[in-house]
Amino acid sequence: MTTAPSPRASRPQLIGLIGANVAGSLSPLLHEREAAAQGLRYAYRPLDLDELGLTPEDAGQLVRDAARLGYTGLNVTHPCKQTVISGLDALSDDARALGAVNTVTVDADRSDPADSAAHDAGTRPGARLTGRNTDHSGFRAALAEGLPGVPLGTVVLVGAGGAGSAVARALLDSGVRELLVADVDPARAAALAARLGEPRSGSRIAAVAHEEVPARLGEADGVVNATPIGMVGHPGTPFDTSALTRRHWVADVVYRPLATQLVKAALAAGCRVLDGGWMAVAQAADSFELFTGLAADRARMRAHFLDLVAETD
């Protein structure tokens, strides 16, 4: 028996990427190559705040304008994953719990039963914009596939912004028993710990000072960078890597470049390493499925991603 194609799959897709300094993002080509392999009419365009002369606080209005101009879906990246919420009609359960959005679906039918409740700002005339979070599902899948069997006793998470929120929940859902969150803004780390700190069976989350990270690695099994440090335009490492030893595993969410300074330092120390490409592909596949209603071929997308990295680097 054949399955009827999704209504989303039968229409042309115009997808946007909202963020700062996104001109070099691999997401447009990654999505378009998977769409081409599936025979879809699919275009993906960056909407760069810097080029448009906008600030992160303009993200909410930008996502509304994009929908009016015919965009059928949008991805959202740094530094707009939280500010974009002001322009949305609804949030999925994950996005609401995390306070961060990286995927926006656009539905003309406002009665579409999305798995979310109306955003406090209320509904607006026209298309229904629903904020979702595939960073959470993407990192969880990446960790399971890219670092199978790593110990999850104590993990240090550096960065408590939009990506950090998603990674924190993914780590707890993956079975981390103790999650220590550090951020250059102590209040942001404390807020994340409080937001995700409801009682969980056998796990706890706590905020620690950013300068304590090297010392805290002495008791940790792994560490995750969920800050922009290491990406193009933000060189360096998010913490002093001299504390890394071969017993640690290290994960980075940055994928441009793929071999960040943190990844290089971790490999040199003998650590098991999860580069940012794993999460980039997994969250992109989840977003693609939300936009089109079709399953993505994740192995093919990973191959496309590695080809794109080789071509562009």
The residues that are catalytic are 81
Omega before 257 cis (within 30°)?
A: yes
State both tokens at 285. 């596949």
Instruction: Give the count of alpha carbons within 13 A of 147, CB side only.
Output: 27
Handedness of CA 206, 211, 213, 215 (dihedral sign): negative
- Whole-number Å distance between alpha carbons of 171 and 155: 8
- Whole-number Å distance between alpha carbons of 151 and 149: 6
Burial class for 142, CB neighbours closer than 10 Å (0-12, 13-18, 19+): buried
Do 104 and 88 meet the contact criterion of CB atoms below 8 Å apart? Answer: yes
For every residue of 198-249, DSSP letters joined together read S-BTTBEEEE--GGGHHHHGGG-SEEEE-SSTTSTTS-S-SS-GGG--TT-E
- Whole-number Å distance between alpha carbons of 65 and 17: 13
Alpha helices in the chain (DSSP H): 27-37, 49-52, 59-68, 93-98, 134-146, 162-174, 186-195, 213-216, 261-268, 276-292, 298-312
- Whole-number Å distance between alpha carbons of 22 and 45: 10
Give the position of tokens 């392999």: 37
- Whole-number Å distance between alpha carbons of 261 and 141: 24
DSSP tag of 256: S
What are the Cα distances from residue 293, in Å, to 156, 167, 227, 275, 289?
35, 25, 31, 28, 5
